[in-house]
Structure 1
Amino acid sequence: MDNGFFVQAIIYLTSAIVCVPIAKKLGLSSILGYLFAGIFIGPFVLGFIGAEGQDIMHFAEFGVVMMLFLIGLELDPYKFWKMRKFILGMGSMQLIGSAFTIFILCQLFLDWSWQTTVVIALALSLSSTAIVLQTLKEKGLSQTSMGRSSFAVLLFQDIAVIPILAIIPLMVSGSHVETDNLHTSLIADFDAWIQTLIVIFTIVAVYFSGRLIIIPVLRMVAKTRLQELFTASALLLVVAVSYLMQLVGLSPALGAFLAGVVLANSEFRHELEGDIAPFKGLLLGLFFIGVGASINFKLIIDNPTFILVFGAILTAVKFLVLFGIGKVYKKSSDQNFLFSFGLSQAGEFGFVILSFSMQLNILPNILANQMMAIIALSMLSTPFLLLINEKWIDPYFGVKEKEVRKHDEIDEQNEVIIAGFGHFGSTIGRLLRANGVNATILDHDSDRVDLLRKMGFKVYYGDATRLELLKAAGAEEAKIFIAAIDNPEVNLSVVESLRKHFPHLNILTRARNRVDAYELIDHGVTKIYRETLYTAVHLGVDALTQLGHRKYSATRQGQRFIKYDEAAIRKLAAKRHDKMAYLATVKDEIEMQEQLLKNDLHINFSASDHAWDSEHLKKQISE
């Protein structure tokens, strides 16, 4: 079979296009789709890819580097500095607790040398940055208590890889080790204190070069107005900083994260995110396919008991350590289960540590390959564990928590139910309450629920996608349901459930933009409130007023613009799948709206039309 570039590209892309949509259709994570795609095309199932799968892994690992760069872009340096104790506290407790427990268990039950046990314990104590952060993003959990804690632990682990790789060669005893083929940094031959100074200098240099060199260069590139050149500059930035970090013995991913933090407050933050995100997504997909293809099923079949039992014990140990840390930091049960299940796998840096140790002859080849199979299987199990938690464990503990905590029981029936009480939902709730309207408020973030209760709001913890919770909240008797959840996919899921089980309810729902609105229109929702529409019109009205237009006229035109736009979006929703028809309709609607607004302005123009406009009246009186 021809193994050329185009054939391999077709195999990888076809497997992803087939498997990922199936996984999403079944309600699974896209990560599982990529992993299964790798398994199917790998050497142990269909055999479409063989040894070259290892080559693609080296290329695809750059997706993890890009992901950390984007995370750095979203993290304000001041907030990062404020989190330092949190990162050191939770991160060190997880790493030391997991590694120590694994070490003790291996020493008690397995006949390994202490050097072998230390290396395996350190490798398996690290979690998968790629899987965890991608899962957080897909499920909209990045800003929750669990998301922040997971990020803190993962960041500490990425930093810890550096000293771990430095310590491992010190455990080599006896025979001479060939190091010609090992990847070493340019400063590996210097004394330890000189290496430390060079590393510190490099980090400081990256920080100041970001402020003094990179940002001015990006400004010069931006002035060319060539999008492809700016994209090339963004890629060059990530590659160059990552390579520099690797030259001095640091993790390329850590270097990319540092570069992102430096540029977090620059005016190019959003532009860089937009340019890097597509490459990150594609490379991460390839990375997960490579992980799936690397699972050695022959090795598992030859010794299934050891690998499966060891993998199960590893997951259990890390889960218990993480759950204990969550209890120390007083996390609620639902957040703690998510946190513990999410980080209970081994990670991609484990492959690096095991390969490095195998080259140093600390680990036998067979044992190292068995450990790599365990890491890959644990990464594969994570989406399933999170699914089990979501379907069975979280609802059980949610109900149990409500039975224990009296104020968590839904003990009121109101005509209005609000699902989602973040910035958007809480504004609605405050307006209704100020006008004497009581609402039953639901929110799925337990930490936010506790905070809102302290602020005087009566909020109930619960997942609004669950039918039993909607019934308990009084959806059968309520008149209005306000869907104000931050995550558009979850919001749509709630609307689907309401339309199916409570067709009498008058649904008022939040939509982030036109795309979200189209989906809601398809489900028969008529009252859709787009965030971008009303804020933009309000700003436009103020701009007209400051340019000399009368307040009433500008406000009236703004209201009519909304009316015409809401009518147009329903026409566009029906044609959005036909690109040519959609574009033609958009053009026609824009021209028609502008003409209608001009006609309205002339038809209704009269002095009495502006009677409540105080500024206009003052001007007339003064004249």
Structure 2
Amino acid sequence: MASPHGDGSEYKDLLVFLAAAGVVVPLFNRIKISPVLGFLAAGVLLGPDGLGRFANDAPWLAWLGWLTLEDRDQIAQLSELGVAFLLFMIGLELSWERLKSMRRLVFGLGLSQIALATAVIAAGFMLTGQTFVSAMVLGMGLALSSTAVVMPVLAERKRLHGAAGRATFSILLAQDMAVAPILITVTVLATLAQSGGDLNPAVLGAALLTLAPAAIGLAALILLGRLVLRPMFRSVAKARARGQGQEMFVAASLLVVVAAGLGAQAVGLSMSLGALVAGVLLAETEFRREVEISIDPFKGLLLGVFFIGVGSGLDLDAVAADPWGVVALAIAITVAKIGVIFTLARRWGLGPLAALETALVLGPAGEFAFVILTAGMVEGVAPPGITQSVLLSATISLFSIPFLALLGQKLATRRIETQVDLPAAALQPPDSSGQVLLVGYGRVGRLIGEMLTEHNQTFVALDTEPGIVAGARREGLNVHYGDAGRREMLELCNIATARALVVTMDAPGKVDEVVQAARALRKDLIIIARARDDRHAVRLYSYGVTDAVPETTEASLQLAENTLVDLGVPMGLVLASIHERRDRYRDLFQAAQPGTSARPNRALRRHVSAATTGRTDPEPEGEG
């Protein structure tokens, strides 16, 4: 009798994916190859044309059946979700300020690349006998490059901050924004194809009319997002502040992505477009960074499913049947795009070597080729035969990206080239680069922020109290919701370029956590932290703060200053003595760090305890 719990075969694809993520991809990391290519290779190896073809050849090979992918429909559904998560993360980066600072490269160079590459590739397919409509669909799909592969490869080689890296990012951003309009264009082309290619106004009107439900649904999605998203996340943040679990934030983030995607599907749009809209709406809220951290692990895993699905779909028999034709097509597509991108990059001011590096990494096809060309086949405007061959060539071209990136880097570093003035915002959001990072925006943090502004010092602030964040943002202040005790949050706030970190929270344990995380990320960062008392200040100095400011000591010094001034002592003498005493306490705090002699520690207790508590005997050790 069959087991009521099944034979476990329903978990087979999950097992294969975990094996790829836990075994194959780490092996690729060890040999310095992109994890994305590891997933692609795992898909090829574990697909039906890889190990799967040997499963039935001999009884002793039967166990290989458990190491292969079979349910392609399930993989396709998870793959679509992975692409939706990728577009959601891209949407989180598309704030109006960032687009404004990058408009020249994004809307100039980026959109020009899409248009010209589409025209060149489509013309090539028309020369092979394809119709105008099918050639346009193929051209639009292949004009896009791979954000998921190119960005990690450039980051690994530390090439993002140069002229080529910024130009590459801007083009990829333009391409990501163009995916939704391209998918809508495919629908319009399908309507035109059904009418026999007649471009009269009546046919165009009918084609656009078919998009009316989608346009209404998209407008409703945007309106609903503006009304619901901020209050929903504020409610979740309040529950989190009451200690009801951080998993609620993760659950809310996942809900937004899936619900927006399904809502878009319900009105005839793609799941990816719905996720992109949700990301853009959340990008303008104070919860952007926290959502990005919550979603990032799921995006990576689901994108892994996407690339495994792409790899498993590589028909090795078709490649073997016409290897030269498939490889030649991949080369032709890549060379055509390299030529277009190089020409346009030079036209937009890049030097020849930076333009060549940009063109090389963006030459191969991208992951959205699979989305667009599949949509074209569903709509009936992309012939299945040629489309499958094109997808094979696109898959092969993806594998070439790391090698082309290496070639571009070697060529570009042969000599230093004068670079055009590309905006730094192409890589760094303008609201957090090169500023003071202020952690905690209560009464103390607000006062520090006001003083920084008064002296023309810009800052970005973090707080975990949603009410404080909401109030500050209503005033137009650069304050965000987030836990600065996590390295990921500090990195998203660009701690690598921050001028200083000021920690103002009144929870000693949390202050310690933030200081330790920040110091681990940057050894040279100026860190000023609020301390509960002298013992807490000693501990903070041991963690590497530049300055620790004990509440009790500073209150005592302020009282002493006011008393002496009111008694008629000259202000200059009072201020000098206060500064001298403050410097003495700082030296004593630093000397009392663990590992130093006991003598400075006794001096600290004698001087500071007398000043702050009115007695010379130290209080028992404990949390500040």
> Normalised by the size of structure 1, how large is the TM-score?
0.63
Report how far residue 338 of structure 1 moved: 3.5
Q: Is 1:540 aligned with 2:548?
A: yes
8 Å contact from structure 2 (residues 28, 35) kept in 1: yes
Report how far residue 534 of structure 1 moved: 7.0
Question: For residues 128 and 548 of structure 1, do their structure 2 counterparts lie closer, same or farther at Cα, with a shift above 3 Å needed?
Answer: same
- AA aligned to 1:290 is G
Among candidates 337, 346, 350, match of residue 369 of structure 2: 350
Question: For residues 190 and 167 of structure 1, do their structure 2 counterparts lie closer, same or farther at Cα, with a shift above 3 Å needed?
Answer: closer
Decide which moves more: 276-285 or 160-169: 160-169
Matching of residues 241-320 of structure 1 within 5 Å: 241-320=260-339
Task: Give the share of equivalent positions with the same residue, in percent.
Answer: 26
Q: Distance in 2 between matches of 1:516 and 1:393?
A: 36
Report how far residue 313 of structure 1 moved: 0.7
Unaligned regions of 5+ residues in structure 1, if any? 176-187, 406-421, 425-485, 492-511, 520-527, 568-591, 609-623
Report how far residue 59 of structure 1 moved: 0.4
Deviations 1:79-105 (A, max 9, x none): 234545543322321121111111222
Q: Distance in 2 between matches of 1:384 and 1:299?
A: 24
Decide which moves more: 273-282 or 381-390: 381-390
Deviations 1:88-142 (A, max 9, x none): 322321121111111222233x233333322222221222332234445545555
Question: For residues 148 and 120 of structure 1, do their structure 2 counterparts lie closer, same or farther at Cα, with a shift above 3 Å needed?
Answer: closer
8 Å contact from structure 1 (residues 357, 363) kept in 2: yes
Deviations 1:381-407 (A, max 9, x none): 2122212323x32333x36x48x99xx
- AA aligned to 1:19 is V
SS at match of 1:172: helix
Report how far residue 34 of structure 1 moved: 1.8
8 Å contact from structure 1 (residues 34, 292) kept in 2: yes
Q: Distance in 2 between matches of 1:599 and 1:53?
A: 71
Cross-structure match for 1:80: 99
8 Å contact from structure 1 (residues 136, 147) kept in 2: no
Q: CA RMSD in A?
A: 4.0
Report how far residue 210 of structure 1 moved: 5.0
8 Å contact from structure 2 (residues 585, 608) kept in 1: no
8 Å contact from structure 2 (residues 222, 277) kept in 1: no
Among candidates 159, 182, 205, match of residue 223 of structure 2: 205
Report how far residue 10 of structure 1 moved: 2.6
Q: Is 1:31 aligned with 2:39?
A: no
- AA aligned to 2:289 is H
Q: Distance in 2 between matches of 1:341 and 1:513?
A: 42
Q: Is 1:214 aligned with 2:232?
A: yes
- AA aligned to 1:279 is F
8 Å contact from structure 2 (residues 147, 366) kept in 1: yes
Question: For residues 529 and 43 of structure 1, do their structure 2 counterparts lie closer, same or farther at Cα, with a shift above 3 Å needed?
Answer: same
Deviations 1:590-619 (A, max 9, x none): xx99x99854512676999xxxxxxxxxxx
Report how far residue 337 of structure 1 moved: 3.2
- AA aligned to 1:119 is V
Report how far residue 300 of structure 1 moved: 0.8
Cross-structure match for 2:11: 6
Deviations 1:410-455 (A, max 9, x none): xxxxxxxxxxxx969xxxxxxxxxxxxxxxxxxxxxxxxxxxxxxx
Report how far residue 278 of structure 1 moved: 1.4
- AA aligned to 1:28 is I
8 Å contact from structure 2 (residues 109, 171) kept in 1: no
Cross-structure match for 2:605: 602
Among candidates 26, 47, 61, match of residue 21 of structure 1: 26
SS at match of 2:549: helix
Q: Distance in 2 between matches of 1:255 and 1:157?
A: 14
Decide which moves more: 205-214 or 226-235: 205-214
Cross-structure match for 1:341: 360
Question: For residues 362 and 212 of structure 1, do their structure 2 counterparts lie closer, same or farther at Cα, with a shift above 3 Å needed?
Answer: closer
Among candidates 147, 160, 180, match of residue 159 of structure 1: 180
Q: Is 1:329 aligned with 2:337?
A: no
Matching of residues 484-499 of structure 1 within 5 Å: none
8 Å contact from structure 2 (residues 79, 303) kept in 1: yes
8 Å contact from structure 2 (residues 40, 311) kept in 1: yes
Q: Is 1:52 aligned with 2:54?
A: no
Deviations 1:290-311 (A, max 9, x none): 2222211111111112211111
Cross-structure match for 2:143: 125
Question: For residues 223 and 395 of structure 1, do their structure 2 counterparts lie closer, same or farther at Cα, with a shift above 3 Å needed?
Answer: closer
Question: For residues 155 and 226 of structure 1, do their structure 2 counterparts lie closer, same or farther at Cα, with a shift above 3 Å needed?
Answer: same
- AA aligned to 2:590 is Q
8 Å contact from structure 2 (residues 142, 366) kept in 1: yes
Report how far residue 252 of structure 1 moved: 3.0
Report how far residue 327 of structure 1 moved: 1.1
- AA aligned to 2:83 is V
Question: For residues 122 and 251 of structure 1, do their structure 2 counterparts lie closer, same or farther at Cα, with a shift above 3 Å needed?
Answer: same
Report how far residue 315 of structure 1 moved: 0.4
8 Å contact from structure 2 (residues 137, 186) kept in 1: no
Q: Distance in 2 between matches of 1:357 and 1:237?
A: 28
SS at match of 1:541: strand
Q: Distance in 1 between matches of 2:301 and 2:252?
A: 19
- AA aligned to 1:601 is L
Q: Distance in 1 between matches of 2:279 and 2:158?
A: 21
Deviations 1:2-61 (A, max 9, x none): 772433323222223222222222222222222222221122221232442452132033
- AA aligned to 1:29 is S
Deviations 1:327-379 (A, max 9, x none): 12212345433422232222233223323333444444332211111121122
SS at match of 1:540: strand
Cross-structure match for 1:620: none
SS at match of 2:283: coil
Q: Distance in 1 between matches of 2:215 and 2:379?
A: 27
Question: For residues 534 and 292 of structure 1, do their structure 2 counterparts lie closer, same or farther at Cα, with a shift above 3 Å needed?
Answer: farther
Cross-structure match for 2:58: none
Q: Is 1:42 aligned with 2:73?
A: no
Q: Is 1:90 aligned with 2:109?
A: yes
Question: For residues 18 and 212 of structure 1, do their structure 2 counterparts lie closer, same or farther at Cα, with a shift above 3 Å needed?
Answer: closer
Cross-structure match for 2:407: 388
Report how far residue 219 of structure 1 moved: 3.9
Report how far residue 261 of structure 1 moved: 3.0
Count of aligned residue pairs for this structure pair: 455
Among candidates 153, 170, 180, match of residue 191 of structure 2: 170
Decide which moves more: 296-305 or 73-82: 73-82
Deviations 1:538-568 (A, max 9, x none): 453375654436522442255347x65xx7x
> Normalised by the size of structure 2, how large is the TM-score?
0.63
Matching of residues 388-467 of structure 1 within 5 Å: 388-390=407-409, 392-396=410-414, 398=415, 401=417
Question: For residues 200 and 174 of structure 1, do their structure 2 counterparts lie closer, same or farther at Cα, with a shift above 3 Å needed?
Answer: closer
Unaligned regions of 5+ residues in structure 2, if any? 1-5, 53-66, 197-205, 421-432, 436-490, 497-513, 530-539, 558-580, 612-624
SS at match of 2:390: helix
Q: Distance in 1 between matches of 2:224 and 2:103?
A: 20
Question: For residues 159 and 287 of structure 1, do their structure 2 counterparts lie closer, same or farther at Cα, with a shift above 3 Å needed?
Answer: same
8 Å contact from structure 1 (residues 145, 335) kept in 2: no
8 Å contact from structure 1 (residues 199, 248) kept in 2: yes
